[in-house]
């Protein structure tokens, strides 16, 4: 982790520094996840703006390991997560990576337990704040739902558009969204796939604050500062109780995760599930067959 002046520690998905004495060495790949310390707060940035911060294996490893490092660092008392660039917080899963047959989940069973993006079932005790700097769709909304608090830019939007692609929101959105906002509103978002604005999300209680886009990270760090002014162990115990976390798991969600996985497995074998992404890639209206 970096304090802004010292080099950050290496994480999977991060690039390492290249020695200035190697003029012919290839330039390192840009890190997929950046970390920076701000006092007792770890700022984590999804750093794939060219892909609208979509989640690939590098993001899943980088974000998951950053959370794990924060959990075991006694000097880190809160985590703020944001996205690089002006447009997107996170566009969800990287469909191009999927189309190339690349895995999004780590093979390591411990990291695989952390869920989508290394985040949605990674139940750390340190409070997490999503600083949503742009649109958060699909998995991006599911990351926000998995966070303890959300600060949104006034340009942000939230939605689960998976039904428009013949698939479902399998990273917790289908049961976490109805648990966090009025069910009828959640069902409209889920069944139509239409997004809501940051202002509407604030009205619904999906986010805590809405601020100008340029201020979203600063506002999230300010909120984190209000948390870290308190006794850290009391905060962490309070979070575990509020979220029902025991031994790193939320027992109340177990049946919902099992149902989500089962339904997703069946859906993936349908013609519509193949048609949706294909139509999206070909920029045409899908031809649904209900089979």
Exactly one of 68, 71, 102, 162 is catalytic; name it. Answer: 162
Exactly one of 68, 142, 203, 263 is catalytic; name it. Answer: 142
Do residues 123 and 243 lie in contact, with contact meaning Cβ atoms separated by under 8 Å?
A: yes
3-state helix, strand, coil in the chain (%, to 5): 45, 15, 40
> Is residue 113 annotated as a catalytic residue, yes or no?
no
Beta bridge partners of 201: none
- Residue 76 and residue 85: Cα distance in Å, rounded? 25
Which helix (H) or strand (E) covers residue 177, if one does?
A: helix 173-180
Do residues 68 and 42 lie in contact, with contact meaning Cβ atoms separated by under 8 Å?
A: no
> Is residue 275 annotated as a catalytic residue, yes or no?
no
In terms of Cβ atoms closer than 10 Å to its own Cβ (0-12, 13-18, 19+), residue 266 is: exposed
Which helix (H) or strand (E) covers residue 34, if one does?
A: strand 33-38
Q: Which residues are the active-site residues?
A: 142, 162
């Amino acid at each position: 982790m970096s304090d802004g002046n010292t080099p950050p520690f290496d994480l999977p998905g991060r690039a390492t520094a290249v020695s200035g004495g190697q003029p012919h060495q290839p330039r390192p790949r840009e890190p997929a996840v950046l970390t920076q310390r701000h006092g007792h707060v770890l700022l984590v940035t999804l750093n794939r703006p060219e892909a609208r911060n979509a989640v690939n294996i590098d993001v899943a490893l980088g974000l998951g390991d950053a959370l794990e490092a924060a959990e075991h660092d006694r000097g880190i008392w809160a985590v703020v997560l944001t996205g690089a660039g002006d447009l997107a917080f996170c566009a969800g899963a990287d469909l191009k990576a999927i189309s190339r047959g690349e895995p999004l989940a780590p093979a390591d069973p411990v990291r695989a337990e952390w869920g989508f993006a290394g985040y949605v079932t990674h139940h750390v005790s340190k409070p997490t704040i999503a600083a949503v700097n742009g649109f958060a769709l699909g998995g991006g909304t599911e990351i926000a739902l998995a966070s303890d608090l959300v600060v949104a830019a006034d340009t942000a939007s939230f939605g689960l558009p998976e039904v428009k692609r013949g698939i479902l929101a399998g990273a917790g959105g289908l049961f976490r969204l109805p648990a966090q906002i009025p069910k009828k509103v959640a069902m409209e978002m889920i069944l139509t796939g239409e997004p809501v604005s940051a202002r509407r999300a604030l009205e619904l209680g999906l986010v805590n604050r809405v601020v100008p886009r340029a201020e979203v990270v600063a506002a999230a760090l300010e909120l984190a500062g209000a948390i870290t002014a308190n006794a850290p162990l009391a905060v962490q115990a309070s979070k575990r109780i509020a979220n029902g976390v025991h031994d790193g798991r939320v027992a109340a969600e177990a049946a919902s995760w099992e149902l989500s996985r089962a339904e997703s497995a069946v859906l993936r074998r349908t013609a519509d599930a193949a048609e949706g992404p294909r139509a999206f890639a070909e920029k045409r209206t899908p031809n649904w067959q209900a089979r």
